[in-house]
Amino acid sequence: MQPVMTEIALTVNGREARLAVDTRTSLLDLLREHLDLAGAKKGCDHGQCGSCTVLVDGRRANACLALAVAHQGAEITTVEGLAGGEELHPLQQSFVDHDAFQCGYCTPGQLCSGVAALAEARAGWPSAVTADLAADAVALDAAEIRERMSGNICRCGAYPGIVAAVAEQAAR
């Protein structure tokens, strides 16, 4: 059976990309194999590890389970798009300062997830450990950060550094 190819256009890290993709191509494979953006990682390809986390229209999402064709017109930000030129994104700097990684394979996903988790908390989104669902604001304490970052598995066990890095940014 012939593959079904579809023209899509989307914005990746501020640059427009227009190309024909196989309908089967995931957003993750589009980035990694077609756009040479290998920052987002493939750890499981089944939504179970979070290594592939990118921002889709500003929200974190697992790129491995997202089909590229379904993201016509979307604005994607990958780890490569977080820094402003030479200047690291503050969370990237916090990751360096707190040794929030070892092998670094989960790191791009952790970073995108962390950036989004900070924004979600700022928007007042509760989490499974938020005691008062009715509250307007959530304070990102360690328990909140751990829960919100639990969709990103780190086999090296860099969690304490990750929590410290996100906490540092939450406190800013």
Partner 1 sequence: MRPFAYEAAADADGAVAALARGTAAARYLGGGTNLVDLMRLGVEQPELLVDVTRLAHGAIEPLDGGGLRIGAEVRNSDCAADRAVRERFPVLAQALLAGASGQLRNLATTAGNLLQRTRCAYFQDVSKPCNKRAVGSGCPAIEGDHRNLAILGHSEACVATHPSDMAVALAALGARVVVRGPGGERTIAMPGLHRLPGDEPERDTVLEHGDLITAVEVPGLPWATRSRYRKVRDRASFAFAVVSVAAALDVDEAGGTVRDARLALGGVAHVPWRALAAEDALRGAPATRESFEAAAEAELAAAEPLRDNAFKVSLAHNLIVRTLLELAGA
Partner 2 sequence: MMAATPAAATPAAATPAAAPPATGAIGVPLARIEAREKVTGAARYAYEHQPDEVAYATAVPATIARGRISALDAAAAMEVPGVLAVLWHATAPRLQPVADGELAVLQSGRVAYRGQFVALVVAETLEAAREAERLVAIGYEPEEHDSLLREDHPGLYAPETVNPSFPAATSDGDVEAGLRAAAVAIDKTYRTPALHNNAMEPHATVALWDGDDLTCWDSNQGAPAHRATLAQVFGLDPARVRVISPHVGGGFGSKGSPRPQLVLAALAARVVARPVKLAVTRRQMWAVTGYRTPTIQRLRLGADAEGRLTAIAHDVVEQTSTVREFAEQTAVATRMMYAAPNRSTSHRLVALDVPTPSWMRAPGECPGMFALESAVDELAIAAGIDPIELRVRNEPEVDPHSGHRFSSRGLIACLREGAERFGWAGRDPAPGVRREGCRLVGTGVAASTYPVYRRGAQAFARAEPGGGFTVGVGAADIGTGARTALTQIAADALGAGVDEVRVELGDSALPRAPVAGGSAGTASWGTAVVKACRALRERLDGEHGGVVPPDGLRADADSEQDVADQEPMARHAFGAQFAEVKVDLDTGETEVSRLLGVFGVGRIVNPRTARSQLVGGMTMGMGMALLEESVLDPQFGDYVNHDLAGYHVACNADVRDIQAHWIDEEDPHLNPMGSKGIGEIGIVGTAAAIANAVHHATGIRVRELPIRLDDLLWAEAADGS
Residues that bind partner 2 (CB under 8 A): 1-3, 22, 24-25, 29, 32-33, 36-46, 48-49, 51, 78-80, 82-83, 88, 92, 95-97, 99, 101-108, 111, 145-147, 149-150, 152-163
23 forms part of the interface with ligand FAD (CB under 6 A): no
CB of 163 to ligand FES, least distance (A): 13
Smallest CA-to-CA distance from 112 within 83, 137, 138 is with 83
Please report how the helices 90-97 and 159-170 are oriented relative to each other, as an axis angle in degrees rounded to 10: 140
Q: What's the burial of 73, exposed, middle or buried (CB within 10 Å: 0-12/13-18/19+)?
A: exposed
Burial of 15 (0-12, 13-18, 19+ CB in 10 A): exposed
Q: Any contact of residue 50 with ligand FES (CB under 6 A)?
A: yes
Site for ligand FAD in 26-85 (CB under 6 A): 47-48
DSSP state of 35: S
Taking a C-beta distance cutoff of 8 angstroms, is the pair 58, 75 a contact?
yes
126 touches ligand FAD (CB under 6 A):
no
CB 124 within 8 A of CB 92: no
| Residue of the chain from 3, 58, 70, 104 that contacts ligand FES (CB under 6 A) | 104
Residues that bind partner 1 (CB under 8 A): 1-4, 6, 22-24, 26, 45-47, 50, 53, 56, 59-62, 65-67, 69-70, 72, 113, 116-117, 120, 123-128, 130, 133-134, 146-148, 150-153
